[in-house]
Structure 1
Amino acid sequence: MMRRATITAALVAVLLVFSGIPMAVAGTGRREMTTVRSWYFAEGTTDYGFEEYICVQNPSPRDAMVRATYMLPESDGAGQIAGDPFVVPPFSRTTITVGNQVGASDVSVKIDADEKVICERSMYWNGRIDGHDSIGVTAPYTTWYLAEGCTDYGFEEYVCIQNPRAGDATVNITYNTPSGPVERKPLEVPAGSRVTVKVNDDLPPCDVSTRVESDVPVVAERAMYWDSRRGGHSSIGVSSPSSQWFLAEGSTDWGFDTYILLQNPGGNDATVDLRLLGANGVVEVNDIGLPAGSRYTFNARDAVGSTDFSTWVESDEDIICERSMYWNNGTGKAGHDTVGVTGATFNCYLAEGCTAYGFETYLLISNPNGEENDVQVTYMTSGGAVPHGGITMAPYSRETILVNEVLPPGDVSMHVAGELPIVAERAMYWHLRGGGHDSIGLMEN
């Protein structure tokens, strides 16, 4: 059933919604700030031994004025804390240490900027034994979908809901389980606050996908932990399903296991095809049945053996797709996860990256086109932009760049540009790969 769909330079809707709310910066002596782009992060905590950071990338040739607003749960005083505005220079990256702003608390974050910045959130815990990371979303919505989820095998799962609006939100959650849908009782999320739902308290041990519906626009993410929080990962939700998904990262080599998670939130059964793009060419897995309201897990090793690869998912019904990866360097199981993107584009921006403090940073690029693709990478450091030589990618291929071999130690953001549409992700590892996280980027034309 594999449809040879033309690669569209589609924008990724969940990441590309802009706002134009004027915002005065009182008492700073600066010009009036007009918000060109906002970012939202539902998950976040600086309590329980967690560190949290917001990474802000400015790919524009102008200074970006940025302000963070922190939203706390009712148990911590349910309110908003406005951070002081700060400037991110052109073609550079800045990091916010959230614990310096809010103390010890669960927290959601909103970022406003007067330039088109890109933002990610990274979190670490237990002496950085592991961590997780995710790009934010640029708008709240009334519906969110989360394909991955598990309350079995020692996993803890949490759904984090941020309400950045001025009015309270009533939120309904539906879990898609192997036994059918399970409706959770409605919950209230006060204005300007954050609520956390522990899914294990609602379900018996099982795999699960989740749909979050609200009477006012909110933001939803999911975090998972395992082995007494030895490891963990997180991902944003998506606001609408799609008939195709792309994932640049994936490996069944080097001790990695990779799983493709498919959620069908619709009322019709779906037939799904996978195209795995690796060093040994394209491997197709066709006609996966995905019943209405169900979730399916595909073990990539069953199709490709041991190799690095990217994934292209096509379905005859609109679905949701994520990818999770796990590994063990001898100190315990670690993992990372991300939702896919719904289209290849000419540009991808990735805010997080580090080649210092024992971090390894990898840039994963997928060329889902039937012809060669010339790709350029620009690194944005605290000292400005560093161009990287061009890469010519073969048709239907995947490229891996170890950024540590390109840059000296430091923090870094990235801009990937293709002559033809591309897909890119960034993965990071530390403690000799004892921990790791991964994220998609902002996809733009």
Structure 2
Amino acid sequence: MLLWTRVLALTGFCVAVVAPPASAQGASTWFLAEGANNANFAQDILIGNPSSKSVTVTLTLLPQSDAITPTLVKTFTMAPTSRLTVNLSKDFKLNGSSSARVSAVVSGTSTPADIVVERTMFFGGDLPLGSRGGLNSPGAHNASGVTAAAPRWTLAEGATGAFEAFVLVANPNPSATRVRATYLTGTGQVLVSEQEAMAQGRVTFWPRAEHPALASAEFSTEIESLTAGNSVVAERAMYFDGFRSGHDALGVTAASTTWHFAEGFTGGNAATAFETFLLLANTGVVDSRVTVDYLLDTGGVVSRTYNVPARQRFTVWVDDEGRTFDTRLAASAFGIRITASAPIVAERAMYWGTPSAADPTTPSFPWVEGHATAGITAPEARWAFAEGQQNTYGGSIDTFFLLANPQSVPVKVRATFVNNLGEGIVRDVCLPAHSRTTVWAANYPELVAEFWWFDAYYDYWEEGQVFAHVLRIGDDL
């Protein structure tokens, strides 16, 4: 577990003015492509109600064809400013794989109500049906839902060999959908698979089993609906160390010339070391010149430029950049800003474990755990998270919020934490210009409890905005 904190001395000053916050992650309907509950997996769906009104939530499973699903639809009532945990074993008796759709209305009406939805899956331990995972589960991963289906998705990360990779595709339509997966490798080879997803269901692509060339490879994946008028939702899950560890990430619906990440870390302490990778997918037909700015928590910026060939996947090992390009990236915490000459898709993956004997700043393999996420194309003034736990499962879970400010002015952040009883606290944080800051829930005694969701409002000076990512260090339960 990570039980240390990094202290940042803030310089400059923060000036806040009244400005309407932008909405990020608030919607009345959500989709989760990945999901499973059986002898190997246990799944929770986390729902946050940030409003001052009671809401009625409808959760609908979209199962794979071989799943046992005695209950497909269930409704729940949520109090104002509260958080709900739905366990797919206890509440649905699911045995198998299933995507999900979650929607909400103001209680007693048909008026859509904004909610926030995430999903956590536990795996790798003794998980009889009915278990919520926990201390008997060495691994877990988490991802947000998405607020709309789309005809095309891209997943920049994908690897086999040391990993098992799966691409999960939800079909929320009332008719079957033909789905194509196109794999773009780091060597320029392009491979294609197709499947049909049943109506209101989901399919799983297993790259290693589909193509001998993907038995040990790095690749990005494009998912495309081939059925006119039918949009889908795509995620990717990757596991390692015999399914004891793994991570999951959402696809993105379009390439972009700009990407942002709030989290990135190299180095560590005597017990735990980290490494960070950037995964870049060029889905276009021309090469892209990509500049990566690393926004250090000390306020400095390190810039590096790469050429990403057309129709290929490209990997940046940030730890190695700290050894060979700029030592400021060694043992460093940073946010990331990416600009590209032609649109690309970007993800960031991080792994941690016991420091290796050869290089104590790098974790030895197999890693203890890891996480991955796609970037965002622009900063937002407001973020919300449905999941959050501190010191649960015997003190084995820590929650960190990573806040990055890519602007040239300081930004004042207001964070509101609310529990499932509607109680909570409000705290302010100042982010210096071009920097990243870590908020550790353990520093707030009021948060040492289970089931907290987070809502951050950013007061900004000269229209400064920030971006945020939640990191739950506790996946290795």
Q: Which bin holds the TM-score, normalised by the shorter protein?
A: 0.7 to 0.9
Q: Give the Å deviation of 1:104.
A: 1.7
- Partners of 2:67 and 2:430 lie apart in 1 by 52
Residues in 2 aligned to 1:257 and 1:383: alpha-carbon distance in whole angstroms = 38
Matched, 1:280 2:307: no
The alpha carbon displacement at 1:382 in A equals 1.2
Structure 1 counterpart of 2:83: 93
SS in 1 for 2:466: strand
Specify which of 283, 287, 302 is matched with residue 265 of structure 1: 283
Which has more strand, going by share of residues?
Answer: 1
Match of 1:313 among 338, 357, 366: 338
Are 2:166 and 1:158 equivalent residues in the alignment? yes
Query: Counterparts of 1:269 and 1:70 in 2: how far apart (Å)?
Result: 41
SS in 2 for 1:275: strand
Residue 443 of structure 1: aligned partner: none
* Counterparts of residues 31-42 of structure 1 (less than 5 Å): 37-42=28-33
- Whether 1:325 aligns to 2:350 is yes
Once the two structures are TM-superposed, the CA of residue 106 in structure 1 deviates from its matched residue by 0.7
* Cα separation, partners in 2 of 1:323 and 1:374, compared to 1, 3 Å: same
- Whether 2:372 is the aligned partner of 1:345: answer no
Which one-letter code corresponds to 2:428 in the other structure?
Answer: G
Offset from partner CA, 1:5-57 (integer Å, 9 cap, x none) = xxxx9877xx67x6xxxxxxxxxxxxxxxxxx211111111124211011001
Query: Relative to 1, partners in 2 of residues 1:373 and 1:343: Cα closer, same or farther, differing over 3 Å?
Result: same
Query: How far is 1:287 from its partner?
Result: 2.6
Paired residue type of 1:189: A
| Greater displacement, 301-310 / 234-243 | 301-310
Distance in 2 (CA, whole Å) between partners of 1:411 and 1:204 is: 39
Task: Quickly say closer, same or farther: Cα 1:60–1:307, change in 2 above 3 A.
Answer: same
Which blocks of at least 5 consecutive residues in structure 1 are unaligned? 1-8, 19-36, 436-445
1:93-172 equivalences under 5 Å are 93-100=83-90, 101-114=92-105, 115-125=113-123, 126=125, 127-152=136-161, 154-172=162-180
Match of 1:375 among 402, 407, 413: 413
Counterpart selection for 1:419 from 434, 459, 468: 459
CA shift digits 1:410-431 (9 cap, x unpaired): 210001111231111111123x
- Cα–Cα, structure 1 residues 348 and 80, in superposed 2: closer, same or farther, change >3 Å? farther
Query: TM-score, normalization: structure 1?
Result: 0.86
Tell me what 1:429 maps to. Answer: 473
Work out the CA distance in 1 between the residues paired with 2:140 and 2:44: 11
Question: Deviations along 1:78-98, whole A, 9 cap, x unmatched?
Answer: x79433211122222111101
Q: Residue 24 of structure 1 aligns with which residue?
A: none
Question: Secondary structure, in 3 states, of the residue corresponding to 1:102?
Answer: coil
Cα contact 1:69–1:80 (8 A) shared by 2: no
1:230/1:238 Cα in 2 relative to 1: closer, same or farther (>3 Å)?
same
RMSD: 1.9
C-alpha distance in structure 2 between counterparts of 1:249 and 1:91, whole Å = 27
What is the TM-score when the length of structure 2 is the normalising length?
0.81
Counterparts of 1:36-75 in structure 2, within 5 Å, are: 37-75=28-66
Please give the alpha-carbon distance, in whole angstroms, between the structure 1 residues aligned to 2:96 and 2:141. Answer: 18
Q: What is the total number of aligned residue pairs between the two structures?
A: 402
- Report Cα offsets for 1:306-341 as digits up to 9, x if no partner: 111111111111111111001114895311111111
Q: Distance in 2 between matches of 1:210 and 1:181?
A: 12
* Residue in 2 that maps onto 1:225: 239
Instruction: Note closer, same or farther for the CA distance 1:165–1:344 as it changes in structure 2 (3 Å cut).
Output: same
Q: Secondary structure at the match of 2:66?
A: helix
Aligned residue for 1:257, secondary structure, equals: strand
**How far is 1:354 from its partner?**
0.5
Is contact 1:275–1:282 with CA below 8 Å preserved after alignment? no
- Distance, in Å, in 1 between the alignment partners of 2:287 and 2:404 is 29
1:239 has 2:216 as partner:
no
Whether the 8 Å contact between 1:80 and 1:192 is mirrored in structure 2 is: no
Q: Write the deviation string for residues 389-441 of structure 1: whole angstroms up to 9, x where unpaired.
A: 211111011111111221231210001111231111111123xx745xxxxxx
Specify the alignment match of 1:204 in structure 2: 215
Structure 1 counterpart of 2:317, one-letter code: N
Q: Which of 180, 188, 191 in structure 2 is aligned with 1:180?
A: 188
